[in-house]
Amino acid sequence: MKTRQPASLTEEDIAAVRSWVIHEDAHIIAFNKPSGLSSQGGRIQAHTLDDLLWAFARSNGKRPELVHRLDRDTSGVILAAKTKPAAGFLGKAMQMRRFQKTYLALVSAVPEPKSGRITAALRREEIGRESYMRVVEFDAPGAQGAVSGYRTLASSEDGALVELSPETGRMHQLRVHMASIGRPLVGDVRYGGALTFAGRAAPRLMLHAAKLSFPHPEGGERVTLEATPPEDFMALAAAAGL
């Protein structure tokens, strides 16, 4: 856990990050991250969620530490550990695949079949300063096994609302897997998603981390946290009658 404080946060920054909290106890803190906010790093000279965690710094200079990441344009549940033991426990639980993540996404046509499991290996590739993932053969150099489940929750002439469940945690996994079955996510410029949906502009990648289930650092009891999708996601789904 870092002890150096970065660029100071404004009162607006602190109020914003506090307003996103959906669960907090002595060990963990969870947020409903807005779209457009990077989890960590990033080249954009703006605060990341990692920076904003300084709003919760304790008197000893320690602050919460993110346990996992979400893509910048993905909204929804993201978890941070408030202590070093909690961070270690959750890191191990994630390695042992004891985290269950459930996402909601919009696609422009109903998947065929309506539900299934995608097992396609992925490889990270660089083009200029951009990183992206590509489906490759399982025995290709650099290939990483990846598994995603999907099921259609609602459909209309305009498209479908799908629930996605990654069994592995590769970069951009859900986005690439859905594109690989011809159903790229609405607003996903990088992987071929439609930029309009139900006659409206898709302002961003329509992917929301709706639910996270994991063992709690104190006692290992499973905790399930949920986050409501943001207004832009709900509005596009409603426009399509989903």
Among 50, 71, 73, 158, the active-site one is 71
Burial of 116 (0-12, 13-18, 19+ CB in 10 A): middle
Query: By the 8 A CB rule, do 159 and 237 touch?
Result: no
* Active-site residue, 73 included: no
Mind telling me the catalytic residues?
71
